[in-house]
């Protein structure tokens, strides 16, 4: 029997456990290394790369926001507001944030009046941006409805929108602003820097939803726009607008303009055109309707130029209001193979009679006796061929050929208003100069402006011209009784000019005008009415434009508290009374004069 050998194992040596001291050293080392790492990282973030990370944080939460300012208010001469700025809200968005909430797009689109698919496409095309407008210039209530939806990335921005209480009536004078509240036309453009002010800026902190949670600092203080008071009288403007509009519609004319000037200051009291537009709703208006024709369109003045020929004649010393007499013959004057015509055989006429009858032959014969340089210089002195320097954007200069190039026939034709172009404003300013004792003021749209004044002709001659033009509205004159105003003397001149097209004059296309001064005894206002191509009824300046002048100026004289010429009648018997109120002395109706027969114009 074999004895089983007992196996014995050699015991292994157990590892000695780390001492507590070593463990402490190890843990401390690890903690120290971590601490050093954190300190190094903090140093890197807060010192080495502080600006980079701060900019990154600011880019996400810190913004510089504009502070909108209100554009200055435009007032009429009596303090009535003509253009005001009202607060509105523009809705903007961060496209990426909005697209992350695509399910909410339909409600957002409906609130801003867009198709949901179109809004999605619009945002997707601009997804790399952080700011896009969704809807500009909403009313505060409507904008709040959008913001109340709580769509991430959608925010509102306060702005201002221009509003014009008088609408189309003041449109051509005021012009309008664009969506960013900058003047685009009219006085809004001319005085844009004055009215606009300067927006401010502030630095703010926004949360991830784009909401402002804290104002950090004011970067730039806002400077609100400054107000301006115009020379325009809103009441007179309305009168002129209504009468011009009614006449153009009744006569089926293409267009028309009226300008009224305070002769003592050169201040424009009214300026209207038709057709017009609504500056509160520009969409749909045409460039033609937005044109200020009184400033930008030129016309041949026709017989309204004759008082300026007489100004040269009186200045020459060869003529007085009553003589010498000029033989106008039987109504035909053949000069250099050209038939200059009057509608009637007037025979011998004084210079005053030439104006009263609007004799083309008489005006032409007077011009032939004048030095060409004197006649040209007189026209130029009254501003023809030059801008009036009113400061209105786009003002036309008109056209007057240099006098040294005038031929004798051309000189004769220029005497009755063909061969030169003027704007209604230029013509009105010329009449205002005569009315103010021969002193010309630069036309201005600003009340109380320091306006330049210059003596153009002798005061005695200017006064004589006013009295000569009174004959035009008295019995036997071309404008009687169409431009006559009860209890006020009117000095004026009719004009009926054929319009040119394609190098020739049209037989059935006229510019019908009347220019006048009231009251004749102590002039306060001058006005010009021009109606372009009346098709229905008469085309004579006296019949078409004369009544517009009379009706508007009748109201304007009363609104400006101008006493009647015949004030004595109010104390001795009083003015005559009629069914429609005061009538003054009844004027006989006379046959209107066609002072622009087609045969008389330049071939």
Distances from the Cα of 196 to the Cα of 161, 189, 282, angstroms: 12, 10, 20
Distances from the Cα of 561 to the Cα of 80, 524, 558, 578, angstroms: 18, 11, 5, 22
- Provide the 3-class DSSP secondary structure of residue 216: strand
Please check whether residue 340 is in contact with residue 599, taking contact to mean a CB–CB distance below 8 angstroms. no
Structure-block tokens of residue 534: 């009346």
Please check whether residue 113 is in contact with residue 135, taking contact to mean a CB–CB distance below 8 angstroms. yes
Cβ-Cβ contacts under 8 Å for 142 (sequence gap 6 or more): none
- Provide the 3-class DSSP secondary structure of residue 417: coil
Please check whether residue 153 is in contact with residue 95, taking contact to mean a CB–CB distance below 8 angstroms. yes
Please check whether residue 146 is in contact with residue 138, taking contact to mean a CB–CB distance below 8 angstroms. yes
| Cis before 519 (ω within 30) | yes
Strand pairing partners for 282? none
Q: Report CA dihedral (74, 76, 79, 82) to the nearest 10 degrees.
A: -50
> Cα separation of 325 and 313, whole Å?
13
> Cα separation of 515 and 258, whole Å?
10
> Cα separation of 260 and 41, whole Å?
79
Please check whether residue 554 is in contact with residue 560, taking contact to mean a CB–CB distance below 8 angstroms. no
User: Angle at CA 327, nearest 5°, toward 360 and 409?
Assistant: 45
Q: How far is CA 43 from the centre of its chain?
A: 63
User: Angle at CA 205, nearest 5°, toward 203 and 208?
Assistant: 140
Structure-block tokens of residue 156: 């509102």
User: Angle at CA 129, nearest 5°, toward 125 and 132?
Assistant: 80
Cβ-Cβ contacts under 8 Å for 144 (sequence gap 6 or more): 89, 156
Output the furthest CA–CA distance in the chain (Å, rounded). 182
- Whether 303 is catalytic: yes
Residue 249, phi then psi, degrees to nearest 5: -70, -40
User: Any idea how long the chain is?
Assistant: 603
Structure-block tokens of residue 3: 């004895």
> Cα separation of 144 and 387, whole Å?
50
Using DSSP bridges, classify how beta strands 339-341 and 268-274 pair: parallel, antiparallel or unpaired. Answer: unpaired
B/e letters for 1-18, b = 16+ CB within 10 Å, e = fewer, are eeeeeeeeeeeeeeeeee
Strand pairing partners for 455? 439
Which of 565, 577, 347 has the alpha carbon at shortest distance from 467? 565
The active-site residue out of 303, 350, 390, 471 is 303
CB atoms inside a 10 Å sphere around CB 526: 28
Enzyme catalytic residues: 303
């Amino acid at each position: 029997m074999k004895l089983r050998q007992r196996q014995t194992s050699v015991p292994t040596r157990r590892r000695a456990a780390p001492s507590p001291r070593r463990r402490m050293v190890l843990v401390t080392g690890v903690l120290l290394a971590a601490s050093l790492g954190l300190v190094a990282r903090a140093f890197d973030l807060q010192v080495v790369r502080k600006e980079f990370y701060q900019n990154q944080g600011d880019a996400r939460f810190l913004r510089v926001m504009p502070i909108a300012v209100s554009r200055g208010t435009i007032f009429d001469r009596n303090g009535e507001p003509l253009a005001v700025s009202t607060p509105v809200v523009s809705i903007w968005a961060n496209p990426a944030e909005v697209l992350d909430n695509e399910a909410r797009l339909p409600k957002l689109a409906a609130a801003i009046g867009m198709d949901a698919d179109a809004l999605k496409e619009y945002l997707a095309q601009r997804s790399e941006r952080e700011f896009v407008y969704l809807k500009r210039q909403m009313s505060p209530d409507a904008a709040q409805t959008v913001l109340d939806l709580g769509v991430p990335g959608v925010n509102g921005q306060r702005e201002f929108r221009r509003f014009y209480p008088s609408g189309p009536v003041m449109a051509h004078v005021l012009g309008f602003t664009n969506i960013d509240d900058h003047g685009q036309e009219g006085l809004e453009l001319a005085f844009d820097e004055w009215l606009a002010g300067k927006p401010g800026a502030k630095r703010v902190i926004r949360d991830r939803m784009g909401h402002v949670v804290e104002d950090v600092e004011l970067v730039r203080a806002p400077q609100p726009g400054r107000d301006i008071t115009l020379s325009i009288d809103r009441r007179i403007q309305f009168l002129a607008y209504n009468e011009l509009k009614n006449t153009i519609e009744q006569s089926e004319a293409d267009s028309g303009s009226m300008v009224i000037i305070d002769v003592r200051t050169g201040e424009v009291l009214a300026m209207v055109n038709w057709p017009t537009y609504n500056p509160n709703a520009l969409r749909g208006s045409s460039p033609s309707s937005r044109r200020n024709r009184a400033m930008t369109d030129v016309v041949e003045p026709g017989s309204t130029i004759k008082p300026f020929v007489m100004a040269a004649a009186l200045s020459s010393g060869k003529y007085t209001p009553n003589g010498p007499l000029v033989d106008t013959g039987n109504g035909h004057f053949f000069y250099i193979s050209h038939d200059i015509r009057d509608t009637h055989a007037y025979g011998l006429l004084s210079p005053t009679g030439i104006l009263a009858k609007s004799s083309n032959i008489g005006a032409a014969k007077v011009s032939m006796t004048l030095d060409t340089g004197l006649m040209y210089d007189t026209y130029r002195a009254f501003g023809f061929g030059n801008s009036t320097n009113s400061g209105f954007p786009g003002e036309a200069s008109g056209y007057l050929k240099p006098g040294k190039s005038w031929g004798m026939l051309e000189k004769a034709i220029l005497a009755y208003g063909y061969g030169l172009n003027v704007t209604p404003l230029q013509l009105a300013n010329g009449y205002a100069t005569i009315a103010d004792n021969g002193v010309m003021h630069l036309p201005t749209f600003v009340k109380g402006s320091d306006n330049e004044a210059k003596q153009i002709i002798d005061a005695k001659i200017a006064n004589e011209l006013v009295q000569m033009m009174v004959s035009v509205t008295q019995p036997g004159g071309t404008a009687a009784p169409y431009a006559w105003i009860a209890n006020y003397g009117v000095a004026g001149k009719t004009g009926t000019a054929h319009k040119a097209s394609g190098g020739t004059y049209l037989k059935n296309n006229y510019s019908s005008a009347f220019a006048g001064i009231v009251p004749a005894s102590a002039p306060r206002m001058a006005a010009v009415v021009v109606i372009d191509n009346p098709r229905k009824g008469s085309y004579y300046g006296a019949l078409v434009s004369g009544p517009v002048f009379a009706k508007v100026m009748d109201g304007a004289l009363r609104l400006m508290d101008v006493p009647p010429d015949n004030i004595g009648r109010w104390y001795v018997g009083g003015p005559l009374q009629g069914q429609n109120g005061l009538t003054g002395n009844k004027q006989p109706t006379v046959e209107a004069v066609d002072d622009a027969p087609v045969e008389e114009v330049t071939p």
